[in-house]
Structure 1
C-alpha cells in the first residue's frame, strides 16, 4: 500500500480507537488521579475513603452525576490525539521497515524491533501534548468544570504554566514506547507469518 493509504488507514483506526477508548480511559484517569490519605492521621474514617471504590462504581458515579456525555468527557481531545498519532505510527513503522530492508524482502527481526520502537516513540512525541489536555479535561468533572473545551484548556494551560506544560510525561512515555512497540510489532509480524 502507498503511504497515503497507510496514513488514511491509521487515521481511521485512530478514530475508531478513540470512540471505543473514551469511556474506559476516562475511568482509568479518574481512578489514577484519586488522591486520599488512606486514613493516615485523620480522626474520621469517612474522610479517608476514596471517592470511587473501583471501575464499576466510578462509571456509575459519572453516569449519575454527569450523564452519558460525562463518560465521553475529554473525548474530542482523545480523538485529536489518536487520529494523527495512529497515522504517524503506522507510516513511520512502514517507512522504516521499507528503508531498512532490501527491496522485495521481508524485514528481519532487528529491523522490525527498531522500526516498531521508533514508530512508538514518534507517535508519543506527537501524542503527549494532547494527552496532557485530554487528562485535564477528563479530571475537570471531578473538581469544578474549569475548561470550556479543548481550545480553552490549551490556552488556559499555556497561560498558567507556559509551553512546557504540554511536555509533561514525554520522557516517560518515550522511554516506555520504544520497548513496548518494538515487541508489539515483532509479535505482530511473527504471528502474521505463523497464521498465513
Structure 2
C-alpha cells in the first residue's frame, strides 16, 4: 500500500512543482540571474512556457518509482525497527526511529535519482538557441566576393531530450557522468528526508483532534507543506552544490569534486551562494508536499477501505 500511495503522491507533486524547480536550478547554476523574477522573465522571454518544462518527461516517468521506493523504504524500515525494539511493527515509533527510517529512505533514493537528476539539470540549464538571419535593412557597401548562405545558423541544443541526454552523457563521460554529483545528493537527501518524515510525524501528532487517531485533511495539508519547507531548508546548501556538479559537463569543467565545488563557489560568490534558491525551494515545497501527502494519505485510506 505504501509503495502505491507513494507513487501516486509523487506524480502529483511533480506536476505541481516542476516549473519552479526549473527556475530554482537556473538560479543555482547561472550567476547572470539577479533573482527569481528576473529568471522567470528571462526564461519566458527566451523560451516561452515550454522553457519551464524542459526535462519534465523523464521525472514524470521515473518519479512514481522513486517516490514509491522512498515511502515504501521509510515504512518498511520503520516497521522492522519497531518489531526489533518493541516486539511489534504496529507499535508507536519513537522520534529516533522515524529519523533513522527517513534517513535510510533518502539514501536509497539516491541510486535511482542521480541519472535522472543529471538529465534534468542539463536540460534545464541549456538555452534554446535560435537561428540568426541577416537583417534585410542593413545596407551593404559592396556585393560579397562569394555567395553567402541564406542564413547563418547556430548549432541547436546539445541535448534533444531526456533519453538523448542520458545517452550523450554516458557516451562522453561514462557511467560516472550519470552519477555526477551523487556525493552531494547523498548529503542532501539523507538528512533532508530524515527531517521530512520526522517533522511530518510531529506535526500530524500536534494537529490530530482530540479523540482521533489521524489529522483531518486540513491537518495533512499543513503538516505536509511545513514538512516540505523544513526539509528543503536543510537540503538547499547541498542542492546548490549538486546542481553545479551535475551541470558541470557542458563545455569546460570547473569543479574537480564536491569539496572543490564548495570552496570555489564560496570563494567566488560568498557563503550566501549555498542558500541560492532557498526562498524558491520553500515556496515550491509547501504546495508540492501538501499535494504529495494529501494524495498519499487519500490513496492509503482508499486501499484500506477496499481491502476491508
TM-score range, shorter chain: over 0.9
CA distance in 2, matches of 1:7, 1:54: 37
List alignment gaps of at least 5 residues for structure 1: none
- Is 2:118 the counterpart of 1:11? no
Q: How big is the shift at 1:48?
A: 3.8
1:14-163 map, 5 Å: 14-41=106-133, 43-45=151-153, 47-101=154-208, 102=210, 105-163=213-271
Q: How big is the shift at 1:152?
A: 1.2
Q: For residue 274 of structure 2, what is the aligned residue in structure 1?
A: 166
Flag the 1:159–1:182 CA change in 2: closer, same or farther, 3 A.
same
Runs of 4+ in 1 over 4 A off after TM superposition: none
CA distance in 2, matches of 1:34, 1:126: 27
Flag the 1:103–1:122 CA change in 2: closer, same or farther, 3 A.
farther
Q: Deviations over 1:111-149 (max 9, x none)?
A: 111110000011111111111100110111222222121
Q: How big is the shift at 1:190?
A: 1.9
8 Å CA contact retained: 2:100, 2:194? yes
8 Å CA contact retained: 1:18, 1:75? yes
Which structure is larger by alpha-carbon Rg, 1 or 2?
Answer: 2
Flag the 1:90–1:103 CA change in 2: closer, same or farther, 3 A.
farther
8 Å CA contact retained: 1:113, 1:186? yes
Of 98-107 and 70-79, more deviation after overlay is shown by 98-107
TM-score w.r.t. length of structure 2: 0.61
TM-score w.r.t. length of structure 1: 0.93
8 Å CA contact retained: 1:63, 1:71? yes
